[in-house]
C-alpha cells in the first residue's frame, strides 16, 4: 500500500504542474484522479470455488474527468445533478491468483496474469454537501489479458479465455474535499472481465473490493452543484416505438464440453484454445413511454434466428446423444427500461421465452443413459444490458451493442441498429 500511495501522489503532483500552466475556462470543468485498491476474486459456483486457490487482486487506475457547470445549457446535466464523465486506464493485478483443479493432476499452477483496460465511466452524486458527497458509478471498457487460457501452460485458467475482454464496473464512492484543489475518496467496487461468449472458456473474472484515491481540480469551483432535477415536472411525455435489428455472435459451450471432456487426447481439437464464432440475427419491436427526460419504459417482442443449431446437432451426434430437439427460431417478450444522457443511453430488459428449443428433451431422450455427459441447460428467462448512441443528424436512429444472458450467465453479444418512431411535434427551444 505504501508503493500505491507514492504512485498516486506522484502522478497527481505531475498533473498539478501541468495544469498550472493552463487555467483556461475549459479547465474549470476538468479534474484528474488516481486510485489503488484491493479486491477479492469471487467463485460464483461450486466449480469455480474448487478451481480458485487464492483470491487477492490489486487494482490501479489513472483518469481524467469532465463535469458541466450549472451555467451550461444542457438539460441532461441539470436532470442528473451535473454528473462526472470519466475516461481512464485500469491495471488489474491478478498475478497472485492460483488456479488448479486437483482431479486433473496438472503438474503446474495456472494463473490470470495482468489485465490492462481502457474505460469510460459515468459518476453521479446522490448526496452532496460543501465538503462531502456520496455517488455511484457505472463503468464500461475493453481489457487486454497477459495470460489467457491455453492448453500448453495455462490449462486451468477457465476464467479468461481470450486476450481481449469486455469490462463492466459498478461502484459506490464517498468523497471528501480536503483542500481547495484536492479531494480524497474511498469506494466499494464490483468489477467484471469476460469475453462475452465470443471465445471459450468464459467463466469471467469477478471481484469485489475497496479502493482509495485522490482527485485534483486545477481550478476549484466554489459552486455547490444541485443534486435534484428541477426540470422533471415540465418534460413533455410521449410514446414511441423502438424497432431494432442486430447481428449476434457467440462461441458454443457445447463445443467446449466436447473438446475438453469427451474426445481423445490424441485428437488435435483436445482442449483447444481456438473456438469458432457463430452468428445469429435479432429483431425487436418495443412500444415505449418516455415519462422523464432521463427515463423511458415499455414492453418488447424479441425474435432471434440461430442458424448454428445445425452445429449443435453435429456436436450431439459426436457425443452419441439422441433425443434433443432444436429450432433456429426464438421468440420472447420482455420488460424494458432505458436511461438517457444526451446522445447516449443505457438500457435493460428482462424477458421470458414464449418459444425456444435449444437442446429440449424429447420423449425419446434417455436421461439415465446420458446423465454423466455435460450439457448446457438453458433457463426460460433472459436479460439484456446494452449501450446505445444516437447518430447526429438522424435524431431517431441509433447504433449500439448489448450482452444477452440467461439469469446472469452470458449467452451472446450483439451489435444493433434501431429507430425510435414517434409522432412529429414541435419541441421547445431548450437545448437538451
What is the per-residue pLDDT across 101-129, written as a single tens digit (0 to 9) for each? 887 768 899 999 999 999 999 999 999 88
Q: Beta partners for 347?
A: 338, 386
Asked if 298 contacts 334 with a C-beta cutoff of 8 angstroms, the reply is no
Summarised one tens digit per residue, pLDDT across range 322-336 is 889 999 999 999 999
Which residues touch 295 (CB under 8 Å, ≥6 apart)?
337, 338, 339, 340
Mean pLDDT of 311-331: 93
Summarised one tens digit per residue, pLDDT across range 89-104 is 999 999 999 999 887 7
The pairing of beta strand 30-41 with beta strand 238-250: unpaired
Q: Is a pLDDT exceeding 60 seen at residue 373?
A: yes
pLDDT of residue 368: 74
Summarised one tens digit per residue, pLDDT across range 226-260 is 666 555 457 889 999 999 999 999 999 999 999 98
Summarised one tens digit per residue, pLDDT across range 273-305 is 899 999 999 999 999 999 999 999 999 999 999
Per DSSP, 27 falls in state: G
Mean pLDDT of 376-395: 91
What share of the chain has pLDDT > 90, as a percent? 67
Summarised one tens digit per residue, pLDDT across range 131-184 is 899 999 999 999 999 999 998 899 999 999 999 999 999 999 999 999 989 999
The pairing of beta strand 30-41 with beta strand 84-93: unpaired
Which residues touch 290 (CB under 8 Å, ≥6 apart)?
237, 238, 239, 240, 296
pLDDT of residue 225: 65
pLDDT of residue 430: 37
pLDDT of residue 318: 92
pLDDT of residue 429: 37
Task: Return the C-alpha cell found at 255.
Answer: 463445443
Task: Return the C-alpha cell found at 175.
Answer: 468523497
d(CA 360, CA 45): 24
Task: Return the C-alpha cell found at 22.
Answer: 493552463
pLDDT of residue 220: 77
Q: Is a pLDDT exceeding 70 seen at residue 411?
A: yes
3-state secondary structure of 385: strand
- What is the phi/psi pair of residue 26, to 5°? -65, -30
Task: Return the C-alpha cell found at 161.
Answer: 479465455
pLDDT band at 15 (very low <50, low <70, confident <90, very high): low
Q: Is a pLDDT exceeding 60 seen at residue 6?
A: no
Write down all domains in the chain, each with its CATH number in brackets. 2-216 (2.40.160.20), 232-421 (2.40.160.20)
Q: Find where cell 442486430 sits.
A: 246
d(CA 168, CA 307): 29
pLDDT of residue 425: 47
Amino acid at each position: 500500500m505504501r508503493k500505491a500511495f507514492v504512485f498516486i501522489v506522484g502522478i497527481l503532483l505531475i498533473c498539478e504542474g501541468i495544469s498550472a500552466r493552463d487555467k483556461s475556462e475549459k479547465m474549470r470543468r476538468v479534474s484528474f484522479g488516481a486510485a489503488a485498491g484491493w479486491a477479492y476474486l469471487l467463485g460464483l459456483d461450486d466449480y469455480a470455488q474448487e478451481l480458485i486457490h487464492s483470491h487477492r487482486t490489486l487494482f490501479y487506475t489513472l483518469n481524467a474527468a469532465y463535469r458541466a457547470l450549472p451555467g451550461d445549457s444542457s438539460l441532461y446535466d441539470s436532470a442528473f445533478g451535473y454528473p462526472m464523465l470519466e475516461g481512464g486506464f485500469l491495471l488489474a493485478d491478478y498475478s497472485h491468483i492460483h488456479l488448479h483443479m486437483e482431479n486433473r493432476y496438472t503438474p503446474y499452477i495456472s494463473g490470470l496474469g495482468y489485465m490492462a483496460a481502457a474505460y469510460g465511466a459515468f459518476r453521479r452524486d446522490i448526496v452532496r454537501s460543501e465538503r462531502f458527497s456520496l455517488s455511484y458509478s457505472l463503468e464500461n471498457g475493453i481489457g487486454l489479458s497477459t495470460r489467457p487460457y491455453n492448453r500448453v501452460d495455462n490449462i486451468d485458467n477457465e476464467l479468461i479465455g481470450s486476450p481481449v475482454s469486455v469490462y463492466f464496473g459498478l461502484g459506490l464512492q464517498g468523497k471528501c474535499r480536503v483542500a481547495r484543489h484536492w479531494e480524497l475518496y474511498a469506494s466499494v467496487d464490483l468489477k467484471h472481465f469476460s469475453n462475452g461468449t465470443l471465445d471459450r472458456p468464459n467463466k469471467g473474472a469477478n471481484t469485489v473490493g475497496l479502493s482509495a484515491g485522490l482527485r485534483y481540480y486545477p481550478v476549484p469551483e466554489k459552486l455547490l452543484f444541485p443534486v435534484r432535477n428541477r426540470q422533471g415536472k415540465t418534460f413533455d411525455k410521449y410514446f414511441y416505438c423502438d424497432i431494432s435489428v442486430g447481428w449476434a455472435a457467440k462461441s458454443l459451450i457445447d463445443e467446449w464440453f466436447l473438446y475438453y471432456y469427451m474426445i481423445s487426447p490424441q485428437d488435435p481439437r483436445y482442449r483447444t484454445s481456438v473456438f469458432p464464432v457463430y452468428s445469429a440475427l435479432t429483431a425487436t419491436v418495443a412500444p415505449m413511454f418516455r415519462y422523464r427526460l432521463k427515463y423511458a419504459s415499455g414492453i418488447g417482442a424479441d425474435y432471434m434466428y440461430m442458424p448454428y443449431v445445425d452445429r449443435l446437432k453435429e456436436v450431439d451426434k459426436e457425443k452419441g446423444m439422441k433425443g434433443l430437439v432444436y429450432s433456429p427460431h426464438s421468440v420472447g417478450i420482455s420488460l424494458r427500461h432505458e436511461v438517457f444522457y444526451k446522445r447516449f443511453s443505457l438500457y435493460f430488459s428482462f424477458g421470458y421465452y414464449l418459444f425456444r428449443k435449444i437442446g429440449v428433451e424429447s420423449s425419446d431422450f434417455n436421461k439415465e443413459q446420458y446423465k454423466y455427459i455435460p450439457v448446457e441447460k438453458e433457463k426460460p428467462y433472459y436479460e439484456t444490458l446494452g449501450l446505445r448512441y444516437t447518430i447526429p443528424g438522424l435524431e431517431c436512429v441509433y447504433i449500439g451493442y448489448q450482452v444477452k444472458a440467461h439469469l446472469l450467465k452470458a449467452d451472446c453479444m450483439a451489435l444493433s441498429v434501431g429507430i425510435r418512431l414517434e409522432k412529429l411535434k414541435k419541441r421547445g427551444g431548450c437545448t437538451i
